[in-house]
Amino acid sequence: MSESIVRALKCRECGQEYDIAPVHVCEFCFGPLEVAYDYDKLQGKFTRELIESRPQTMWRYKELLPIDNDPTVGAQNGFTPLVRAKNLEKVLGVSELYIKNDSVCYPTLSFKDRVVSVALSKAVEFGFTTVACASTGNLAGSVAANAAAAGLESYVFIPHDLEQGKVLGAGIFGTKIIGIRGKYDDVNRLCSEVAGKYGWAFVNVNVRPFYAEGSKSLGYEVMEQLGWKAPKHIVVPMASGSLCTKVDKSIKEFIKLGLIEDNGTAVYGAQATGCSPIAKSVKEGTDLIHPVIADTIAKSLAIGNPADGYYANRVINESGGWAEDISDQEVIDAMKLLAETEGIFAETAGGVTLGCAKKMIESGKLPRDESIVLCITGNGLKTQEAIADEIDKPRIIDASLKEFDVLAKADGVENI
Amino acid sequence: MKQRVYLTFSEATVREPIIWKLAREFDVITNIRTAEVKEHMGLVGLEIEGEQDIVDAALAWLVQQDVHVEPIEQNVIEG
């Protein structure tokens, strides 16, 4: 592997720098730590040709991901399709729309496989043998699967009322699942105590700065797949707001390295109204995030006190984007719209992204005549409960052509 | 022991001298490390030092005062 350009961990608030270690909070001001790089070391070396010559995984951008050696976890992850959504373009009345489809991310069908492969590869470099996470579901499955494949012990902590599909989707990998009576924010509360006591690598606690960097690979891929350019507008679902900030960082890095032109990309955030502290702050024109008690079917976005809310708010404002929120019914309607127009079955968070994009197109916040990318981050097979009552049940008939003829006629199908 | 917390004050509590009251009520050392106070809301990064049970009681008291208490280590990103 080429020389690492990771320089340090740097406080996003006061700028204090720390040696690379499994820590995530500035000792001085309690601000969050972020990985800082020496980009100059890559000047002229990290080219489009080099990237294109590599396997189609998220690791084709490995110089910009914070591990020292080749990945030991999730070496096949990433490089999901970017789909030109022609049918949705017609429905929404826009000229150029793409879906970044991380609902088929390898191996657990959500974008969490990106962040987890970075977090666990880094955890292995640090010498951890047990990894853990607090999760709203997708992360649990991803940690469990990637840990199993890497031979690591894993614990996942989830809210007790999580969708069955997500519980099953973690349990199958032999992880130890702990259901916590409470909301995701309560799960966090316990996890931080466990993280402090047990010396495990908690992907979204003590190895969080490395974990979060994995999200950038989604942005890199979008730019490469668009033919080495950034979209004019990109819509991102928001839970903690981390993805929003990392997509923005990915674009800025590619510009800095001369891989793309500055396209003035605006970043937009999407939330469900039942948990919309970041969207609310953007709409109200403040940068203070009021914690809320989450109540939405979009459980993977149900973080009432978003750690990166302030930074997501800043990215949205500085990039010229906007944030929106929609009701649970609108989430379901958007999930169906995406499935029926583009054949993509996204989880509830995908409904949030499309539904909010639709609302912003209708309100004029998202222009109709410029390129828009929607980030779909998880697979609908995991959140079937949310739409179980919304989908037509099969019409049951005997194996009789006569009976089918009756149905076909009712559907208006001509008898040939 | 030392506990690091983020305190979020609502519009109803942001003008109250709650941290002063805390130090009067409980035998703890309070050390404000970061703060942002606006008309409708306040955020304070606070270190509280003292005996474990007193620190726990102090944090419980803050919650009773309608302050949102989020231990720093628990300020976890999405999952």
Q: What is the DSSP string of A58-124?
A: GGGGGGGSS-SSS-SS-TT-----EEE-HHHHHHHT-S-EEEEEGGG-TTTSBTHHHHHHHHHHHHH
Q: Is the peptide bond before A277 cis (omega within 30 degrees of 0)?
A: no
The confidence band for A415, taking pLDDT boundaries of 50, 70 and 90, is low
The confidence band for A98, taking pLDDT boundaries of 50, 70 and 90, is very high
Residues in B whose CB is inside 8 Å of some CB of A read 4, 6, 8, 10, 33-34, 36, 38, 40-41, 43, 45, 68, 70-79
> Of A29, A204, A288, which has the smallest distance from its Cβ to B79's Cβ?
A204
Choose among A387, A385, A359: nearest CA to A374. Answer: A359
Choose among A365, A351, A358: nearest CA to A321. Answer: A365
pLDDT at position A189 over 70: yes
> Which letter does DSSP use for residue A129 in this model?
S
> Which letter does DSSP use for residue A5 in this model?
-
Token pair for A46: 């990290």
The confidence band for B78, taking pLDDT boundaries of 50, 70 and 90, is very low
A403 inside domain: no
CA distance B24 to chain A (A): 24
Give the dihedral of Cα atoms A114, A68, A252, A245; nearest 10 deg: 50
Q: Which residue of A has its CA nearest to B38?
A: A288
A287 inside domain: yes
Residues A173 and A282 in one domain: no
Residues A366 and A220 in one domain: yes
Set of chain A residues whose Cβ sits within 8 Å of the Cβ of B74: 188-189, 191-193
Set of chain B residues whose Cβ sits within 8 Å of the Cβ of A241: 78
The confidence band for B77, taking pLDDT boundaries of 50, 70 and 90, is very low
Residues A230 and A141 in one domain: no
Contact present, A269 and A316 (Cβ < 8 Å): yes
Mean pLDDT for B53-75 is: 87
Which domain CATH number covers B8? 3.30.70.260
Predicted pLDDT at A385: 86
Q: Which of A305, A313, A352, A377 to mutate to test the interface with B (most CBs of B within 10 A)?
A: A305
In single-letter form, the type of residue at position A209 comes to P
A138 inside domain: yes
Choose among A406, A67, A34: nearest CA to A209. Answer: A34
The confidence band for A184, taking pLDDT boundaries of 50, 70 and 90, is confident
Residue A283: CB atoms within 10 Å: 13
B16 inside domain: yes
**End-to-end Cα distance, chain B:** 29
Q: What is the pLDDT of residues A250-280, one digit of tens each?
A: 999 999 999 999 999 999 999 999 999 999 9
A399 inside domain: no
Mean pLDDT for A318-322 is: 98
Residues A117 and A14 in one domain: yes
In terms of residue numbers, what domain contains A24? 6-75+112-211
Choose among A254, A226, A221, A204: nearest CA to A59. Answer: A221
pLDDT at position A165 over 90: no
Predicted pLDDT at A191: 86
Q: CA-CA distance, A320 to A67, in Å (whole number)?
A: 32
Choose among A100, A101, A152: nearest CA to A125. Answer: A152
Average pLDDT for chain A: 94
pLDDT at position A366 over 50: yes
Token pair for A293: 């008690």
Residues A162 and A17 in one domain: yes
Residues A103 and A174 in one domain: no
Set of chain B residues whose Cβ sits within 8 Å of the Cβ of A196: 73
Alpha carbon distances (Å) from A139 to A110, A295, A340, A410: 8, 20, 27, 45
A397 inside domain: no
B29 inside domain: yes
Predicted pLDDT at A371: 98
Residues A368 and A323 in one domain: yes
Contact present, A304 and A294 (Cβ < 8 Å): yes
- Structure-token match 């010559």, residue found: A53
Choose among A151, A12, A11: nearest CA to A73. Answer: A151
In terms of residue numbers, what domain contains B33? 2-74
CA distance B52 to chain A (A): 14
Choose among A136, A292, A102: nearest CA to A204. Answer: A136
If one counts the domains in chain A, the total is 2
Residues A229 and A350 in one domain: yes
> Of B4, B10, B76, which has the smallest distance from its Cβ to A134's Cβ?
B76
If one counts the domains in chain B, the total is 1
Q: Give kind and range of the element (H or E) at residue A247.
A: helix A242-256
Residues A251 and A374 in one domain: yes
B42 inside domain: yes
Residues A86 and A57 in one domain: no
Token pair for A327: 């009701």
Decide if B72 and A30 are in contact by the 8 Å CB cutoff.
yes
Residues A195 and A252 in one domain: no
Residues A170 and A224 in one domain: no
Decide if A208 and B72 are in contact by the 8 Å CB cutoff.
no
B52 inside domain: yes
Which domain CATH number covers A55? 3.40.50.1100
Provide the β-strand partners of residue A236: A269
The confidence band for B74, taking pLDDT boundaries of 50, 70 and 90, is very low
The confidence band for A36, taking pLDDT boundaries of 50, 70 and 90, is very high
Q: Radius of gyration of chain B from Cα atoms? A: 12
Reduced to 3 states (helix: H, G, I; strand: E, B; else coil), residue A11 is strand
- Structure-token match 């406080």, residue found: A11
Token pair for A7: 């320089």
Decide if A307 and B33 are in contact by the 8 Å CB cutoff.
no
Predicted pLDDT at A146: 95
- Structure-token match 């826009």, residue found: A94
> Of A30, A133, A286, which has the smallest distance from its Cβ to B79's Cβ?
A133
Reduced to 3 states (helix: H, G, I; strand: E, B; else coil), residue B15 is coil
Residue ending a domain, among A179, A211, A243, is A211
Set of chain B residues whose Cβ sits within 8 Å of the Cβ of A189: 71, 74
> Which letter does DSSP use for residue A301 in this model?
G
Q: Which of A135, A155, A193, A288 to mutate to test the interface with B (most CBs of B within 10 A)?
A: A288
A398 inside domain: no
CA distance B27 to chain A (A): 23
Mean pLDDT for A321-337 is: 98
A412 inside domain: no
The confidence band for A244, taking pLDDT boundaries of 50, 70 and 90, is very high
Contact present, B33 and A29 (Cβ < 8 Å): yes
Contacts of A403 (CB under 8 A, 6+ apart): A397
B79 inside domain: no
Predicted pLDDT at A416: 62
Set of chain A residues whose Cβ sits within 8 Å of the Cβ of B2: none
Contact present, A124 and A203 (Cβ < 8 Å): no
